[in-house]
Structure 1
Amino acid sequence: MGTRNAVGKRHVHAQGCCRVSVPALARSGVTVSILALLLAGCVRPTGDFDRARPSVIHDSVMPAIGEGAARMREDPVSKFNYTNDEKLLRDRGWTLIRPPWTKDWIGGTMAELARTRVIPETEGRIPPDLYYHYLRSDRFRSSDARFDKIASDATGDADLVMPFCEVALRVREADDERLRVLKNKPLTTEEMYEGAKARVWENRVMIKWVGQALRYRITAYKNALDALEIETPSRDRQWKVNTAIRELQGQVLLAESECQTENRYGTEEPVRRSRIYKGWGNERPPPQK
């Protein structure tokens, strides 16, 4: 929603966020960096089940600013419409990129600035120590509940990796097909050529960013567990948390490999010998009749 000023210009604003007059900012020639500072306190609003809610600021204003910032950095920018899977990739990726603690407005702001490309995606790193800060400050009835919270968050993250990877693999296949068609098309405009390459780059950066964000989450969970073991020891809960973190680590390896399941641990697999044929290279020739 918005309000009108004395001259009838609409001010776009969101609950809990800064108020911005988009036409006025554009006319005054405000730079991208200043706009980023004005929007820095804006965390993406959420609704039921912490899902992102529609927002003019976050769905229109910040992406427009981010597009300009990306061009200034000379990062590829595609004007292509998103496919259904590309939209789903970003929706599912957002749940793994945002801070694990929804009240973390510092990390939430950094993630949102990176999501909208106001800052580079790989710089949208959330400080891992903030998770323990918010975990410690929240009022739980039992000290064991904080251990349970870490285990629940780690397990929830692990459950979300495979659904994300299923979409990521479909997007990669579509990108490969896009590049194949682009290469074989004799009549392709420069705009179409650059747009296709930029979209492939954007998709791959998104997939890589999720792996990076999950690695930071593991660090946050481990730091919180180490601190709680000193502040409020609970041997019964420590095993549960460690198990949940180990399960998440296995899924993070998959995400960090850009969801490629072949040889995900990076080890050389030995050649498997047949259990039927023996003495390879020394077999006798078949009998001649």
Structure 2
Amino acid sequence: MSPASEAGRPRASRSVAAPLVLLALLAGCAQEGDFGRPKPGAWNSLIDTTGTLAARGRDEPSSDFPFTDEERILRDRAWRFLMPAAGRDAFTDGLANLTRSRLLPPAWRPSDPSAYHDTLMGEDFRSPVSRYRRLSEDIGTDARLIPQFVALAARVKEADALRLRSLPFVKTLDDHDIHHAAMRVAENRCLIAWVRLETGLRAAGYRYALEHLLIEAPGPEAVLAERTLAALDGRRPLLDPLVPPEAEVRCGLVPEVEVETVRKTVAAKPIVAKY
């Protein structure tokens, strides 16, 4: 390789890295509303629109059709599960939002069960009791929101079924209309599969945090945290009937082996021994 080529390699790397850093910082500015949902506004809409175009460029399901009210609410509800369970730093959260908005492909993001624990313990606190309380609150919020997401997803699926049944009877449709109708159905199903995958990864992170917190600072508060985690694990299967078992793989979210690993967390053994 010529010296000129060698000299050009760092510059090429920087030319790729710099826009990525800028995009991550910009995405980190995404505004969060109540209940872990994105705050309505032009900035968040711009990020989502750009993500749709990026997904289309990767040949992922992407439709030109406007969202129905329930499709938009479904995406708002998915926000909590597609973002990190605990914020870490502007860059990491920015990359997560780029992934959530589909500017980056979902499969690139590595799963790290220790990330939630590291953030939980990295924050300033006076008593370990506050760490158990924060852990229980985060788990409990996920557990409460899953049934709401499932009910909404079921209504979106019913509307999609009506859409598909109606296609043969609408004679004025062209290939563009049919294609984007199919793409919207695929988008909705892949979003549901993505949330199902992420709830498993979040549960694994919570379990890791509880296991390590129990050793670092044992206390009776661990019992409540484990009960809350059991409630989350009990509600995660509500997502299973919404999409086929292989949906995460077919949507390109993860390799098949990782899906099986996440699913095994449901049958994990109890963490806290009786006091």
**TM-score of Structure 1 vs Structure 2, range by shorter chain:** 0.7 to 0.9
List alignment gaps of at least 5 residues for structure 1.
1-30, 261-289
* 1:87-106 CA-partner distances (Å, limit 9, x unpaired): 11011111222112134545
2:141 pairs with one of 135, 156, 163: 156
Instruction: Tell me which structure has the larger Cα radius of gyration.
Output: 1
Q: Any conservation in 1 of the 2:48–2:102 contact (CA below 8 Å)? A: yes
Q: Any conservation in 2 of the 1:104–1:130 contact (CA below 8 Å)? A: no
Q: Any conservation in 2 of the 1:98–1:108 contact (CA below 8 Å)? A: yes
Q: 1:34 to 1:255 in 2, by over 3 A?
A: farther
1:221 pairs with one of 181, 185, 206: 206
Distance 1:242 1:188 in 2: 53
Distance 1:33 1:189 in 2: 42
Distance 2:138 2:180 in 1: 38
1:45 aligns with 2:24: no
Q: Any conservation in 2 of the 1:32–1:65 contact (CA below 8 Å)? A: no
Between 1:107-116 and 1:183-192, the stretch displaced more is 107-116
Q: Any conservation in 2 of the 1:110–1:126 contact (CA below 8 Å)? A: no
Q: 1:202 to 1:126 in 2, by over 3 A?
A: same
Q: Any conservation in 1 of the 2:160–2:185 contact (CA below 8 Å)? A: yes
1:253 pairs with one of 204, 215, 237: 237
Between 1:69-78 and 1:250-259, the stretch displaced more is 250-259
Distance 1:90 1:196 in 2: 18
% identical aligned pairs: 32
Distance 1:104 1:126 in 2: 17
Higher helix share: 2
Provide the residue aligned with 2:272 in structure 1. Answer: none
Could you tell me which amino acid in structure 2 is paired with residue 114 of structure 1?
A: T
List alignment gaps of at least 5 residues for structure 2.
1-14, 245-275
Distance 2:243 2:141 in 1: 18
Could you tell me which amino acid in structure 2 is paired with residue 101 of structure 1?
A: A
TM-score with structure 1 setting the length: 0.71
1:59 aligns with 2:49: no
1:97 aligns with 2:99: no
Shift, 1:177, TM fit: 0.4
Shift, 1:178, TM fit: 0.2
Shift, 1:119, TM fit: 1.7
Provide the residue aligned with 2:95 in structure 1. Answer: 110
* 1:206-264 CA-partner distances (Å, limit 9, x unpaired): 11111111111111111111111221111x1222111111110111121244379xxxx
The higher relative CO (CA closer than 8 Å, separation ≥ 6) is in: 2
